[in-house]
Amino acid sequence: MPGTEPQPSFLGRISIRRNQVSAMDVNHDPELEELELFQKHVADRFTDLLSPQEEVASTETLLSISWLRKLVDVFLCCEAEFKAVLIMGRDPSQICKPPLDRLIPELLDRAVKALDICNAVSSGIDSVRQYQKFAEIAVSALEQKPMDDGQVKRARKALNSLLTAMKVDDKEKDFKGAERTWSFGRRGNTNPFHKERAARYFRSLSMIIAKNWSASKQIQAMSSNLVPPRGGEPTGLALPVYVMSSVMVFVMWALVAALPCQERSGLATHFPIPRQLTWAHSMIGLQERIGEEWKKKEKKGSVGLLEEMQRMEKLALNLIEFADGFQFPGETEKMEEVAAQVAELAEIFRKMGEGLVPLQAQIREVFHRIVRSRTEVLEVLDHAAKISQPTT
């Protein structure tokens, strides 16, 4: 009978309305302190994500590659700490008792969904690396001096392909009609290869998960049963499970929003977090900012909010406009302006070159970390089941 079982002393003392940090002064329960510390660290990390310290603020713009790398790092740190709270030094039988007997399987279910998201996002990074190659062509063509019609046309073509690839919207569409209109022999400065056809290729290459798989549905499923432990009810480990789940859902959501990913309609809605939790403030702040960005972009059918991609898109549009109006040898003033844009594009291209591969490696690490923790939790569950067996 779960209700009659004596709760470990510290469990009863944690209340969800624990926004008064001063309460900590009166108790010296190491486990409770550990829990407080975990929440505090989560809060600190998310505050840093929301408003980075001044010296790095310029390089860590929201949703930029370096920001995402930091985000993934935050996940890894929180995860490590969470595991320590959950597993180390615990009586394993605890995690078989209500409410954990329900919360832990839910957490593991989220973990599995997160693994699929990691794979999808990692493939999204592959797509971004393709965009990067188009940008590389455009940059090297436009860096030619003097800039001539041929090179401008070449750059235009690459930028066009870049935009086409980036405009791939997540939804599967019937492209049969498009196929028929594609004909051989069209050329000139119009996009020679039918746009939609190319887009279809891009999309099909980025589909590495099952056809009907949807990133936004998975995110929704991950958060649908995510509810904060109610005040008054013995919380114990329920709270850290909730914290970690929120971190996981948030990080996966942000990654899916930032990078090209399979099927993301309805991503703008985010899960509610009770404001009184110490870390909630910054996470909600981030949710709102990213959510707004997403709403802006959703209509345009963009591939993702990655800051570098957004800038790249804007530059590509500008440069295409420039290319369309270009007449050799070009006006000096205009040329200077373009040179600055090309330099910016080159800078983005360089950043992508530096950051994408490490980001992908980090996401792989997230994958493996989740796998490992999941295995460990399963082992604890197994172990706990064995302990409790003889008594039943």
Partner 1 sequence: MDHNPPEKSTSLSRNVNGFAGHEHPPAEEANEASPVPELSLLQVLEDVDGFLETLSKPNDNPPEVPGCVELLLKMVEKKMANYDSNKFGHNPEEDSSFFECLTRISRFTNLFSEFTSNPIIDAPLNRSSTVLHLSVSLLDIEFRTILESCIRNPNQNNSDSRTPKASKQPSFGSHRQDSDRGEPETTQDEDFLAYSQESISNMNKIATAMISLGYERECCMAYNMMRRNAFNNELDKLGFSNTSIEDVQKMNWETLEGEIAAWIDFLRYCYSVLFAGEQKLCNFVFSEYPSVSQRLFSDLALAVTARFLIFAEAVALTKRSAEKLFKFLDMYETLRDVTPPTDNTHSSELKYETCAAKSLLGEAAISIFCDLENSIRKDHGKTPVPSGAVHPLTRYTMNYLKYACEYKNTLEQVFHKHRKTEEGDAGGKPNQSDAEIIEGANEDGTPKTSPFSVQLNRIIDLLDDNLEMKSKLYRDPALRYVFLMNNGRYILQKIKGSTEINDTMGAKWCRKRSTDLRQYHKGYTRETWSRLLQCLNHEGLQVNGKVVKPVLKERFKMFNSMFDEIHKTQSTWVVSDEQLQSELRVSVSAVVIPAYRSFLGRFQQYLSSGRQTEKYIKYQAEDIENLIGELFDGNPNSMRRRR
Interacting residue ranges for partner 1, rule: CB under 8 A: 112-113, 115-116, 119, 123, 126, 130, 133-134, 136-137, 144-146, 148-151, 153-154, 157-158, 184-188, 192-193, 198, 201-202, 204-205, 207-211, 213, 218, 328-329, 364, 368, 371, 374-375, 379, 386
Could you give the CA distance from residue 50 to residue 281 in angstroms, rounded to a whole number?
A: 10
- Helix 65-86 crosses helix 238-258 at what angle (to 10 degrees)? 160
Give min distance, CB of 145 to partner 1, in A. Answer: 6
| Biggest CA pair distance of the chain | 88
> Cβ neighbours of residue 178 under 8 Å, at least 6 residues apart?
194, 196, 197, 200
Q: Considering the complex, state which of residue 17 and residue 368 has its C-beta at the smaller distance from partner 1.
A: 368
Q: Least distance from C-beta 65 to partner 1, angstroms?
A: 20
Write down the least CB distance from residue 182 to partner 1, Å: 9
Nearer to partner 1, 268 or 371 (CB): 371
123 vs 245, beta carbon nearer partner 1: 123
What is the Cα–Cα distance from 346 to 317, expressed in whole angstroms? 15
The DSSP letter of residue 386 is H
Residue type at 65 in one-letter notation: I
Other Cβ atoms less than 10 A from the Cβ of 316: the count is 25
**Preceding omega of 390 cis (within 30 degrees of 0):** no
Report how many helices (DSSP H) and strands (DSSP E) the chain contains, helices first: 14, 0
**Minimum distance between the CB of residue 252 and partner 1, rounded to whole angstroms?**
13
Min CB(46)–partner 1 separation in Å: 27
Provide the minimum distance between the beta carbon of 389 and partner 1 in the complex, in angstroms, as a whole number. 8
Rounded Cα distance between 318 and 337, Å, is 11
Nearest Cα residue to 138 out of 107, 171, 162 = 162
Helix%, strand%, coil% for the chain, nearest 5: 70, 0, 30
Nearer to partner 1, 10 or 193 (CB): 193
Nearest-angstrom CA–CA distance, 359 and 70: 9
Q: Which CB atom, from 71 or from 198, has the smaller least distance to partner 1? A: 198
Q: Which is nearer to partner 1, 70 or 113 (CB)?
A: 113
- Which residue is associated with the tokens 């939804």? 171
Residue 140: CB minimum distance to partner 1, A: 8
The burial of 210, by beta-carbon neighbours within 10 Å (0-12 exposed, 13-18 middle, 19 or more buried), is given as exposed
Closest to partner 1 by CB, 204 vs 276, is 204
Rg from Cα positions in the chain = 25
CB nearer to partner 1: pick between 137 and 227: 137
Give least dist CB 116 to partner 1, A: 5
Determine contact, residues 145/223, Cβ cutoff 8 Å.
no
At closest approach, how far in Å is the CB of 235 from partner 1?
A: 29
- Residue spans of alpha helices (H) in 259-304: 280-298
Cβ closest to partner 1, residue 44 vs residue 143: 143
Residue 373 C-alpha from the chain's centroid: 20
Residue 232 is given by DSSP the state T
Nearer to partner 1, 159 or 286 (CB): 159
CB of 34 to partner 1, least distance (A): 21
